[in-house]
Amino acid sequence: MSLAIDARRGRAFVTASGVADTARWAKALAAEPPLFARSLFLGSGPHALSARDRIAPLVAQARTLGPPFQCVWLETPDTNDGKMQSGLCRRLAPLLETALDASAMLQRGAPLLPRLHVLFEGAERAWVGVSQTPTGSRWPMGIPRLAMPRAAPSRSTLKLAEALLTLLDDDEREHALAPGMRAVDLGAAPGGWTWQLVQRGLSVVAVDNGPLSTTLARDPLVEHLRVNGLAYRPRRPVDWMVCDMVLQPSRIAALVAGWVADGACRRTVFNLKLPMKRRYAEVQRCEALIRDALDQRRVRYTLRFRHLYHDREEITGYCARTG
């Protein structure tokens, strides 16, 4: 498969042309999802649109993509220039949905059907394509609309909330985040991640030499230990270990590998603070470190990484023992 990649700086989206076998491409994406892409779809473009009538050509393009669709998302690049098209998207969305309904190309509430995407590069240029549920984003533009809880001690709580939505499937969230489970939060202060777990009914040992928020520190589900997060281990295994400490990625990877390999935790969500350059190479290095450690101990496991919307110069990982 020979691809031509267009990844212009500041554009906020990447295109790959030359995909002849879309089924093979979709299978490859499912097997190894791209780590830094928030949303992706297969289609074509850019298509020229007239200000007089954008709807008719978009419906015509949609007809070539194998309708019906479960929904249609009008999107823009996540840049200041791209966001200038958000008003246009809001105006066109109900008109396009009506036109697709009239052509029997929308079947809402059918999760196995593809999603239709229209990405406006400009007011008169759009890319049109489809994504499948296993490989596409759950949200338009890959942005989860998570409200900042007033009671949460810090905005970092949104990172863990998004991680649990993105890196776990529905069954894992139902069975692996049950009230009464036990967790450890390494580098907890001021408590954003601890708060997120407590809201789900987990009891949490919050490990940090810094202070927790006053309300969280008084919560009966929280035990605050002012000790070194790198050295701490629980007296008996816990269901979860979460970690958002600011350390070299390889040190966090080694820490995670040790916890999972030794059985100190069943599951873990962790952040790797990435360097300014060669970020993908650093993720690969940390992934190999974790896999090598677990493979040597013959541990059966799941390991996933994604750069989340609420991440910055970091990437979030999830690792779970499966046997």
- Known catalytic residues are 273
Distance CA 151, CA 71 (A): 34
Answer yes or no: are the C-beta atoms of 165 and 77 closer than 8 Å. no
For residue 178, how many other CB atoms are within 10 A of its CB? 12
Query: In Å, what is the CA distance from 18 to each residue of 1, 5, 42, 116?
Result: 8, 9, 11, 21
Q: How far apart are CA 281 and CA 119, in angstroms?
A: 29
**SS3 letters across 41-94:** CEEEEEEECECCECHHHHHHHHHCCCCCECEEEEECCCCHHHHCCHHHHHHHHH
How far apart (Å, rounded) are the C-alpha atoms in residues 223 and 124?
Answer: 57
- CA Rg value for the chain: 22
